[in-house]
Amino acid sequence: MNPTLSHMRVVITGASGGIGHAIAARFAAGGADLCLVGRSASSLNSIRAAPGPLKSKICVLACDLDKDDDLSELHTFIEARLGGLDVLIHSAGVIALAPLATVSAAEMDRHYRINVRAPLILTQSLLPLLRSSRGQIVFINSSVGVRAKEQTGAYAASKHALKALADTFRMELNAVGIRVVSVFPGNTATPMQQHICASLEKPYVPQWMLQPDDVARAVVDALLMPRTAEVTDIHLRPALKPPQ
């Protein structure tokens, strides 16, 4: 039987906007049962209100992944609302640009806490549910997670660390039937990318970038692969090149 999204129990962090929001919308349209996590409750609720061909059970939780109390509440909330878990998608993240020569320790710590520590703690807490379902974990990384760029040192270091987490979880959890995939998008037309362009004083031209739904589709396709295969790493780049 081919797997489908219908009634798949899915948790998505960073679902308030950008790639996380697009992934949530695609799962909702497919009839998955969702727990959407982000900082903006109104943005999360907009997915629940969107028209779709199938009815999903969607619950939302506005929380700050930098706070341990919020992470603990999230585990309890997921177990109570979904009753189990098939897919955990880590899409939340922060970025601040600065040369490594001047980046502050506080900013470095913030990148670590949101981009590395929170996914680790949340994955650890939800592993019993994922083990029971032989579930799947998705880490939305970045192209700088494999190739650093100037002024992205703190962010790139956190994304390199996130890749290490995903690779290690895969080696440790494949034996119990859990699949783990990392996704490395290039420039994507999101509010985060718009902020980056503004910080670098570069034009933000979304039509020459990946679209959030491009990434969402790749994620869904990977998760629906038959169990005879595992997609481990997805690298996506914009196909169109801006005129010189």
* Catalytic residue annotation: 155
Q: Which residue has the tokens 């619950």?
A: 59
Long-range contacts of 75-78 (CB under 8 A, 24+ apart): 75/122, 75/125, 75/126, 77/35, 78/11, 78/35, 78/126, 78/129
Nearest one of 162, 166, 171 to 181, comparing CA atoms: 166
Which residue type does 166 have?
A: A
How many Cβ atoms from other residues are within 10 Å of residue 221's Cβ?
A: 11
- Strand ranges across the sheet with 136-140: 58-62, 33-38, 9-12, 87-90, 136-140, 179-185, 233-236
34's CB contacts (< 8 A; 6+ apart) are: 10, 11, 12, 24, 27, 28, 47, 56, 57, 58, 59
CA dist 234 and 181 (Å) reads: 8
57's CB contacts (< 8 A; 6+ apart) are: 33, 34, 82
Q: Which residue has the tokens 């999903």?
A: 56
CA dist 67 and 57 (Å) reads: 26
